[in-house]
Structure 1
Amino acid sequence: MQPRVVSLLPSATEILCAIPGGKQLLVARSSEDDFPADISHLPTVIDPIIEFTSLASVDQQVTQKMKELGTLYVVDKTKLEKLCPSVILTQDLCRVCSVDLMTVERIAIEMNPRPTVLNLSPVCLEDVLDNIREVGQTVGLVRESDGYCKELEARIDRVRQYASATKEKPRVLVLDWVKPYIVAGHWMPQVVDIAAGLPLLSPLITDESGRRRGEGARRITVSDIVDAKPDIVFVAACGLDLPTLLKEFASLAECPEWKAVRDTVPRIVLCDGHHYFNRPGPRLIDTLEFIAGYIHNIPEIIPENLAHVEL
C-alpha cells in the first residue's frame, strides 16, 4: 500500500511534490500550501488564526496570539483522522510558520493506526537537501529523491563557480520583515555567502556538524541598517508575495524611518519572500541563483520566475 501523506507546511509540500512520484502521495495540506498549483483541490487540515491586514498589525497579532494561545494555527483533528495518513510532514523551527511539533505528535499518538511524524526543521542549505532525502526515504522514493538532490547540488555548484570568478563581495542585507525591521537568519546568510556577498547583521556561524549558517532572525533598528552600510538590501517579507509587499511599501514612502534607509542604501529590491527566500524547500536554490546573479550582474543565472522590483 502506498503512503498517504499529509503536509502541514508549504516547504514540505514542495519537497514531496518535487520528488518524482511524490505528488500523487499527498492527500491533504495546509491552507497556506500554494505550490504546485495543481494541489489546490486537496483538503486542508490546518489554518492560521491571524489575518494579514498590514505589516505592523501582523506583528501585533502574532505577539498577542502567541501570548494568549502559544500558537498561530488550528489543526482540524477530526478531518485529519478521517484521512488516515501514514505520514505527517511538519516542523519545529518556527511557531510563527506552522503548528508546533509537540501538538502534531500529541495528535498522532491518539490516531489508529499511528502515522509517522517527520520533523523538517532546516537551518542551512545542506539541511534542506537532507530533508528531501529524508522525505524520499520515508515515502519509499529513495532513488528518486537522491537523483533530485543531485540536480539541486549541481545548481549550487554552478553558482559557486560563477561566484568564485567575481572580484568583489557586495555588502548584502536581507530583511524578512519591516515594521518592525527583522534581519533574515538561518539559511539566508549562508545563501548570501555562497553567492559571494557579505551577509550583514546576521553573521555566519559554524555548527557542531561543521555546517555554516546564520543564527535565527532578529529585530534590528534603522540605525543598525544605516551603520552596516549595505550596498544592497533585499526585502523579502515572510509570508508576503510581491504584490502584497508592494502595496505595503506604498504606505511606507513618507515614513521618516524608511526615508533614512532610502537615503543611505544605494539599491533596495523588493522580493517574493513567501515563495522563495523564507520557504526552505527546493526553490531556495532559485533564491541563491537570484541573489548571485543580481548582486554580480550575471543575468543568465537569474530565474525568470522570481518576481522582484528594485525601488
Structure 2
Amino acid sequence: MSALRIVSLLPSATEIVAAVGMADQLVGRSHQCDFPVDVRHLPALSETKVNLDGTSRDIDRRVNEIIAQGVSVYRVDAELLRALKPDVIITQTQCAICAVTPGDLEDALCEWTGMAPILVSLEPNDLADVWGDMRKVGRALGAEGPAHAAIVGLQARLMAIRETANRAARYPTVAAIEWIDPLMAGGNWMPELIEAAGGQSLFATAGQHSPWLDWSALAAADPEVILLLPCGFTIAQSLADIPLLAGRPEWAALTAVREGRVFVIDGHHYFNRPGPRLVESAEMIAEILHPDLFAFGHEGTGWVRLP
C-alpha cells in the first residue's frame, strides 16, 4: 500500500495521527499544529483573521466583531491545499472559533479536480468521544490496530491516576477557567479530567459545552482550587491577564486566592486539545490537587502556582 498524503487542520488530530504512527505521512497542517515538533516544518494551510495580541477581553471583542459579520474567523489557502493533493483531510465541527471547520474548506473542495480527498470531521464532547475520534482517524488511515493500542495505553494511564486519587482523604472543589474575560468555565471533557484526578468540578457538566460564568456564581461557590487554563493561551499569556482578575472586587475574597491555590496552566498545548495529551492534562491536575500522591514533573513547564 502506497503512503497516504494526510492534511490535518486541527492540533489534536495532528497529535492523534502521530499517536497512531503516521506522522511521516502528513503533508500539511493548520497554523496551530505545533506538536510533535517535527510537524512544524510542514506547510501551514490556515491562518486566523483575529489579531491575537492583547488580553482575553481584547481577543473576545475581535472574535465577536468577525462573527457579527457572518464570516469565518479562519482563512484556508485553497490553492496550496489543492497543490498538496491530500488523500485525507482531518478537520472538526466541535467549535468554529477554536479551529478550521469543513465550512472553511468549501472553496477548495468545490473546485477540486480529480478524486476528492476523504474528509474526516471530529466532534468530541467528552472523553468517550475523544477515544471514538481516535478510532475514526485510525479507520480512515488504515491504522485501526495502532489506534486501538494507543487508546488502551492512554486509558490505562488515566485509570492509574483515578485509582491513586481514590486514596486521597477528600476531593477539593475546583473551578477550571477556560476564558478569563468574560469568564468561562471549562466544560466538555474537563469535568472528567478533574474527577479522575481527585477533584470536584464546579460549574460545568461533562459532555456539555463550556458555560459562561458570572462572577457572582464564582464568589458564591468559593472554590478551594482555581485552575486558569484559557483556550489557546500559554502560561505567559495567562499571567499577563491576571490584572483583569485582580481588578475585580470578588477576586481577593476567594478562598483559593487568599490561600494561594490558584494555578496557571498551559491552555495552548493541554486541556483544550482533545487528543492523547489530555492524559498529561489529568496528570497536571492530579499533582496540583494531591502533591502528596502525585509527582509527574509538569510543574514549571505545564503549570505554575500563581505568586
CA distance in 2, matches of 1:308, 1:181: 20
Aligned to 2:239: 246
Q: In the TM superposition, what is the alpha-carbon distance from 1:257 to its structure 2 partner? A: 4.8
Contact 2:173 2:201 in 1 (8 A): yes
| Cα distance, 1:57–1:35 mapped onto 2, change above 3 Å | same
Counterpart of 1:277?
Answer: 271
Alpha-carbon distance in 2 for matches of 1:148, 1:263:
36
Work out the CA distance in 1 between the residues paired with 2:254 and 2:208: 24
Letter matched to residue 25 of structure 1: Q
Alpha-carbon offset, residue 248 of structure 1: 2.5
**Structure-2 residue corresponding to 1:152:** 154
Task: Summarize the alignment of residues 22-33 of structure 1 with structure 2, pairs less than 5 Å apart.
Answer: 22-33=22-33
Alignment of 1:81-230 (within 5 A): 81-104=82-105, 107-111=108-112, 112-203=114-205, 213-230=206-223
Shift of 1:108: 3.0
CA contact (8 A) 1:289 1:302 kept: no
* 1:72–1:151 CA distance, 2 compared to 1 (3 A): same
Q: 2: distance between equivalents of 1:274 and 1:77?
A: 26
Aligned to 2:230: 237
Q: Which moved more, 1:164-173 or 1:300-309?
A: 300-309
- RMSD across aligned C-alpha pairs, in angstroms? 2.0
CA distance in 1, matches of 2:296, 2:207: 24
User: Are the counterparts in 2 of residues 180 and 219 from structure 1 also a CA contact under 8 Å?
Assistant: yes
| Matched positions, count | 301
SS at match of 1:309: strand
Q: What amino acid is the match of 1:34?
A: D
Query: Closer, same or farther in 2 for the Cα pair 1:18/1:134, shift >3 Å?
Result: same
Q: Name the CA shift for 1:98/1:263 in 2 (closer, same or farther; >3 Å).
A: closer
Give the whole-Å Cα distance in 2 for the aligned partners of 1:265 and 1:26: 48
Name the SS for the 1:93 alignment partner.
coil
Instruction: Tell me how far apart the structure 2 counterparts of residues 262 and 64 of structure 1 sit (CA, whole Å).
Output: 36
Aligned pairs for 1:36-47 (under 5 A) are: 36-47=36-47
CA distance in 2, matches of 1:295, 1:282: 21
Q: TM-score, normalised by structure 2?
A: 0.91
Q: C-alpha distance in 2, partners of 1:105/1:240?
A: 29
CA distance in 2, matches of 1:201, 1:216: 11
> What residue is the counterpart of 1:210 in the other structure?
none
Q: Which moved more, 1:293-302 or 1:246-255?
A: 246-255
Contact 1:123 1:187 in 2 (8 A): yes
Cα 1:68–1:265 change in 2 (3 A) is farther
SS at match of 2:288: helix
Q: What does residue 81 of structure 2 align with?
A: 80
Answer whether contact 2:4 2:141 (CA < 8 A) is retained.
yes
- Residue of structure 2 equivalent to 1:65: 66
Q: What do the CA deviations read for 1:253-288 (whole angstroms, capped 9, x no partner)?
A: 445454344776631101101100111111111011
Report the alpha carbon displacement of residue 105 of structure 1 after superposing the two structures with TM: 5.6
Q: Which amino acid aligns with 1:150?
A: V
Deviation digits for residues 105-155 of structure 1 (CA, Å, limit 9, x no counterpart): 664354231011111111111221222222122112222221111111110
Q: Distance in 1 between matches of 2:223 and 2:250?
A: 16
- Matches of 2:298 and 2:152, distance apart in 1: 19
Q: From the superposition, tell whether residues 307 and 116 of structure 1 become closer, same or farther in structure 2 (CA, over 3 Å).
A: same
> CA offset at residue 167 of structure 1?
2.5
Q: Cα deviations across residues 174-218 of structure 1 (Å, max 9, x unaligned)?
A: 001111111011000111122221110113xxxxxxxxx242112
Unmatched tracts of structure 2, length 5 or more? none
CA contact (8 A) 1:86 1:116 kept: yes
Shift of 1:161: 1.0
Deviations 1:79-127 (A, max 9, x none): 1011100100000010111122233366435423101111111111122
1:223 & 1:252 partners in 2: Cα distance?
13
CA contact under 8 A between 2:222 and 2:255: conserved in structure 1?
no
Unaligned 5+ runs, structure 1: 204-212
C-alpha separation between the residues in 1 aligned to 2:279 and 2:300? 13
Deviates more, 1:269-278 or 1:216-225: 216-225
In 1, Cα distance between the equivalents of 2:82 and 2:8?
Answer: 14
